[in-house]
Amino acid sequence: MLGPMPAHNAEYHRFSSSHVSQVRRLLIDWYAQSKRPLPWRNPNPDENENAYRVWVSEIMCQQTRVDTVIPYFNKWTETWPTVHALAVADPEAVRSVWSGLGYYSRASRLLEGAIIVVNKFKGVMPKDAETLQKEIPGIGRYTAGAIASIAFNQATPLVDGNVVRVLSRMRALGMDPKSKTAVDLHWSLAADIVDPDQPGDFNQSLMELGATICTPTNPDCAACPVKEYCRAFELHTVSTEKAKAALQAPRKMKRKIIDDDAEDESSCALCLPVTDIEDCGALLVTRYPVVPKKKAAEEKEVLVPIIELRIPDQPSKFLVMQRPPKGLLANLWDFPHIPTTEELSPLTDFSSENLVDSIPNTSLSKSSLTIKIEKPFEPIKHLFSHIKLTMNIVWLTAQLPDGISELPANDAATKNCAWWTEEEMETGAVPVTLKKALKLVTDDRKGGSKTGAQQGTIKKKAKKGANVKDAAQPSISNFFSRK
């Protein structure tokens, strides 16, 4: 068995003064030679513009891969190169440029923050972390530390996921990293080691180390510039040597090696609990930081009607709805999402009238349009950070009365609804869910989609006198398969 740690006091999990100076030097030197050439790392002579670029990049990079962020960052800074330019941007344009990056409320807070910087601070970004965090919406403790240290050379610490992993391993911290004790300790350690002369480079070196060397599952410990000061790597080396000794020793000697470890165990609250060597994987360092149990994602199921309005000699238009200003995908334009019910679900038969009547805030059921179900598709799933969404896509086509080539005003969608062409959806503020759903329709036109069962006959009839009409329609429930 590998005990939690050799007996030690609390200082075992801190950096000694001699270690601090060495770690600073080694990381800054390594960063100068090994840093990735990212667009936001090109220093701007104007420190205020540099601060703006750091701000945008840090917001974009939160919980998002750097490779994904780069084209978004370039487009954003080409569109709004300064905080002054962003402050007068159209909110819809901001959401459009951000579209596809996820966590859409962040784009709105960037715009809101830029307006505050211009109006309250005369366009000059605050230089200290405390003011940044207090005054600018969307700037938390981490982002404030990044802007203050990288753009303004303030000796301010920062802690993100990469830094948590690096510090957890370097100091062998085995508690839940999201606990208050762990959060406070990581910030304290980051403050202890931040370089007073080159805080920006040092903080970036910690993040870069976590992103490229000290990775979650396959760390390259051999290439790590500070492995000599890493407690987790030290423990891995010791445990590997003891495991080899136990395997090679006679049976009685194996027992003694195990007993010696047991006598050395401590009850430190900051350490990992006792664990078998075999459970540690190829590298003991990957046991740090502890991965807390994730809360299961909430499951939601919706019907998604894609209503295509076909107008002679014009591009088709599709009904889209703007989502509420708060909540999931706030303010974005998407196809209607109708929560499933016992009466309206993929397992029941319904007409286009039933479906259209269930779309909120529209007058389609009273319009002069002829709407019929073209084709349902197999369900597709989309995973958000906290929601697992199942989308049951139904493609409907709508036609204007004979002799009419434009949509009458009273047939247009009402507030927060619109008819968009495919081109408008490509450039508009739309989420990935819309793009996934639309792809089913566009692929079907090319003959490449899947629909489930063969066509049957619809069971429910439209209400007498209804304006929405179904031609001979397939039974909806036949199309949706469960896997």
Query: What residues are labeled active site?
Result: 58
Closest by alpha carbon to 268, among 5, 1, 2, 26? Answer: 5
By residue count, the chain amounts to 483
Give the 3-state secondary structure of the chain. CECCCECCCHHHHCCCHHHHHHHHHHHHHHHHHHCCCCHHHCCCCCHHHHHHHHHHHHHHHCCCCHHHHHHHHHHHHHHCCCHHHHHCCCHHHHHHHHCCCCCCHHHHHHHHHHHHHHHHHCCCCCCCHHHHHHHCCCCCHHHHHHHHHHHHCCCCCCCCHHHHHHHHHHCCCCCCCCCHHHHHHHHHHHHHHCCCCCHHHHHHHHHHHHHHCCCCCCCCHHHCCCHHHCHHHHHHHHHHHHHHHHHHCCHHHHHHHHHHHHHCECCCCCCCCCECHHHHCCCHHHHCCCCCCCCCCEEEEEEEEEEEEECCCCCCEEEEEECCCCCCCCCCEECCCEECCCCCCCCCCCCHHHHHHCCCCCCHHHCCCEEEEEEECCCEEEECCCEEEEEEEEEEEEECCCCCCCCCHHHCCCCCEEEECHHHHHHCCCCHHHHHHHHHHHHHHCCCCCCCCCCCCCCCCCCCCCCCCCCCCCCHHHCCCCC
How many Å apart are CA 144 and CA 464, to the nearest integer? 63
**Pairing verdict, β 370-376 and 317-322:** unpaired
Distances in Å between the alpha carbon of 340 and those of 115, 143, 298, 389, 450? 40, 40, 15, 12, 22
Cβ-in-10-Å burial (0-12, 13-18, 19+) of 145 comes to buried
